[in-house]
Chains A and B, each alone.
Chain A
């Protein structure tokens, strides 16, 4: 998190982490496609010739809070290939939350575990406490034959504290739900640690609404909670 009181700017960083080819870039591409131009920057991808992410992708989304703060959320992906560990570590520096994109196929379990451990190791190397930086797990590729069943996903959910979300990122399913969950976790963690809401005069409800209202939420579980027509920043009773 970067908070610049003088310029009234708040920047959060969310990193999409996970094994190679698990769908991190696809998540960002879907988010980019569903976000209106006014609240997002370009999706920047540096690719190698084999179409796999070399360095990272970067998608910034931003809004201005009713308290006059410019709030920016920078979404990064890391390169999944094993050899790019140094780049992964650099991209992970000072992350506020991590969306771990796991390949939801059973055959990928070993890879997922290896990258989860790699994430924890790189977090520690960067001085990030895995217990303090919230993580959200997405089980992607749920449409593939070898994918984990709902019961197996439940089992994975109970094995840790992280929210677990199923997805078929290539069709946009679960992408916004993951984004929403990771934003919420990031906000709560930062607010808990730094009293962010008081510092910048922005509450969780406004934070989430300002980011999600301008998105195309059609067909997602968030459709009834956010979206066009709803007044951003207004706390509704009971929600």
Chain B
């Protein structure tokens, strides 16, 4: 059964900012834009207002007209007409309708510019802010006193209570200029505004796309993580199935094999009648190959159990000298048969007993010795050295070393870290020179690590190899495995 994965939210795609038309206010930096407009107003002594397409005011700078307009505004009729003019300027159509007319100027008027006269004789110039053919807002310049204004108009003078002298006096503070000149100021201002909008648009799109790209990349990574997680789960499941399959098969193979060996033994012992020389030889071959097969199957089973975490090491007090001697004696026939010299060196004097799983440790030493004999040509030497119990640099606790050196074929540098893998052989071809399933060293590694020790190898191709097992003399109790606390796993509680 595979572990259930949390349901994945379907990625929601928002509409890209590439498809959204930004508002004028989003493209301009409010404060610095106000500074630019104020600079213009001070230079030309005329007020400027900028509105977005919905009539929202972005900037409103008054120059010179405040007192005059305030005075006119203080009369009910003035207030009424002033409000109408301001409304026309701010929200009215950007077309030559509703009192608006084309500006009076020699040169062709800038595209879209209109003049809106005020009943006081003052004038406004209104120009659309265009972007990609869309109106993003409008620029209103004024009010100003047109050069051609000759005295106060009747629309103003007929306001009953108006003090004409005072009105004239206040009007003189308002900028007087030819309409054509003011039109050029608007045009110039709009060019500056367009440049600001262009860079604003660029920044707007760049940052928006940058954020979207980052989110998109993140989404992809999450997707990949999810897939990897799934795959990992499947692999774990397959690995478990493999282990379980191997265990079953090994077990099923062993049962009939034991019978084959048993009956061969009975034949060899003459229980079914005497055998002639040739028959006896054949039966011995059957027995020998059967034993080899049984050993192989047992190794598979061992390793499988180690991998499945089913092997529990049982530690007891062990005399190393005896253990090593027993291991050496079990590979001696093999070495003699091949013509390889087997040497064993142990420190003189009494050795302190150590805690270890006797059978597994012996198995590990046997495997190392058998491996060394297998890869050493006739006439070569395999040497085992046992160290006394003393502090070991690789371990925090005191321990001992078992070193197996041979004068065999050696192992290439890039193969060194692979030889401890299950089923690995340096020569992986089907016609390889040396037999075996490639399990011996994997088992050594598992057993040694089960003791809290380590095994490593040094080798020179053509000269030989040296395997070193370093084991602690008092391994941690396997019933209470040592747990390494992960940083942050336990400790301080969450801050938020």
Number of interface residues of B (CB under 8 A): 21
Stretch in contact with the other chain, from A87-95, A166-174, A200-208: A87-95
Q: Which residue of B lies closest to A44 (CB)?
A: B202
Asked if A72 contacts B212 (CB within 8 A), the reply is no
Please give me the residue from chain B that is nearest to A76 by CB atom.
B18
A82 to chain B, nearest CB (A): 13
Q: How far is the CA of A94 from the CA of B15 in the complex (A)?
A: 9
Q: Is A58 an interface residue when CB atoms closer than 8 A count as contact?
A: yes
**B202 & A93 in contact (Cβ 8 Å cutoff):** no
Q: Of the listed stretches B65-73, B213-221, B273-281, B399-407, name the one at the interface; the rest are far from the partner chain.
A: B213-221
**Residue ID in chain A nearest B131 by CB atoms:** A41
User: Restricting to A123-145, which residues have a CB under 8 Å from any CB of B?
Assistant: 126
Known interface pairs A42-B198, A44-B205; A93-B220 also in contact (CB < 8 Å): no
Expressed in whole angstroms, the Cα–Cα distance for A55 and B133 within the complex equals: 23
Contacts of B209 in A (CB 8 A): 55-56, 87, 90-91
Is B13 interfacial (CB-CB < 8 Å)? yes
Which residues of chain B from 42 to 72 have any CB-CB distance to chain A below 8 Å in the complex? none
How far is A91 from B19 in the complex, measured between Cα atoms in Å? 10
Are A41 and B213 touching (Cβ within 8 A)?
no
> B135 to nearest A CB, angstroms?
10
Flag whether B132 is at the interface (Cβ < 8 A). yes
Known: A41-B131, A90-B18, A93-B13. A55 touches B205 (CB 8 A): yes
CB nearest neighbor in A for B197: A42
Mostly helix, strand, loop or mixed at chain B's interface? helix
Q: How far is the CA of A39 from the CA of B133 in the complex (A)?
A: 7
B32 at the interface (CB under 8 A from A): no
Return the CB mask of A53-91 against B: 1 if under 8 Å, else 0. Answer: 001101010100000001010001000000010110111
Q: How far is the CB of B194 from chain A (nearest CB, A)?
A: 8
A36 within 8 A of B: no
A41 — nearest CB in chain B belongs to which residue? B132
By beta carbon, the residue of chain B nearest A71 is B133
On whether A89 and B132 interact (CB within 8 A), knowing A44-B201, A46-B206, A76-B18, the answer reads no
Q: For the complex, is B16 an interface residue (Cβ under 8 Å from A)?
A: yes
Are B19 and A86 within 8 A (Cβ)? no
B201 contacts across to A, CB distance below 8 A? 44
Against A, the Cβ 8 Å flags (1 = close, 0 = not) of B124-160 are 0000000111100000000000000000000000000
CB distance from B66 to the nearest CB of A (A): 37
Best-surrounded residue of A2, A39, A42, A94 (most CB of chain B within 10 A) = A42
Chain A interface size band reads 20 to 34
Q: In the docked arrangement, what's the CA distance between A2 and B132, Å?
A: 16
**CB under 8 Å from chain B, chain A span 1-59:** 2, 11, 13, 39, 41-42, 44, 46, 55-56, 58
Contact A90 B16 (CB under 8 A): yes
CB neighbours (8 Å) of B134 from chain A are 70
- Interface pair B213/A60, CB less than 8 Å apart: no
Given known contacts A44-B201, A58-B205, A87-B213, A93 and B132 CB-to-CB distance under 8 angstroms: no
**Assembled-state Cα–Cα distance A100/B214 (Å):** 25
Q: Say whether B202 contacts A94, CB under 8 Å.
A: no
> Contact partner of A90 among B133, B202, B213, CB < 8 A?
B213
Q: Using Cβ atoms and an 8 Å threshold, which residues of chain A touch B19?
A: 2, 11, 13, 93-94
Interchain CB contact under 8 A, A93 and B16: yes
Chain B residues with CB below 8 A from A70, complex form: 133-134
- Complex formed: what's the CA distance from A100 to B201 in Å? 26
Q: Cβ of A60 and Cβ of B198 under 8 Å apart?
A: no
Question: Which among B13, B202, B213 is the interface contact of A86 at CB below 8 angstroms?
Answer: B213
Neighbouring B residues of A62 by C-beta, 8 Å: 132-133
Alpha-carbon gap, A91 to B216, bound state (A): 12
Please tell me if the beta carbons of B132 and A90 are within 8 angstroms of each other in the complex. no
Q: List 18 A-B contacts (CB under 8 A).
A: A2-B19, A11-B19, A13-B19, A39-B133, A41-B132, A44-B205, A46-B202, A55-B206, A55-B210, A58-B205, A62-B132, A70-B133, A72-B132, A86-B213, A89-B216, A90-B216, A93-B13, A94-B16
Identify 18 new A-B residue pairs, CB closer than 8 A, beyond the known A44-B202, A55-B209, A93-B19. Answer: A41-B131, A42-B198, A44-B198, A46-B206, A55-B210, A62-B132, A70-B133, A84-B213, A86-B213, A86-B214, A87-B209, A90-B16, A91-B18, A91-B209, A93-B16, A93-B18, A94-B16, A94-B19
Q: Chain B interface (Cβ within 8 Å of chain A)?
A: 13, 16, 18-19, 131-134, 198, 201-202, 205-206, 209-210, 212-214, 216-217, 220
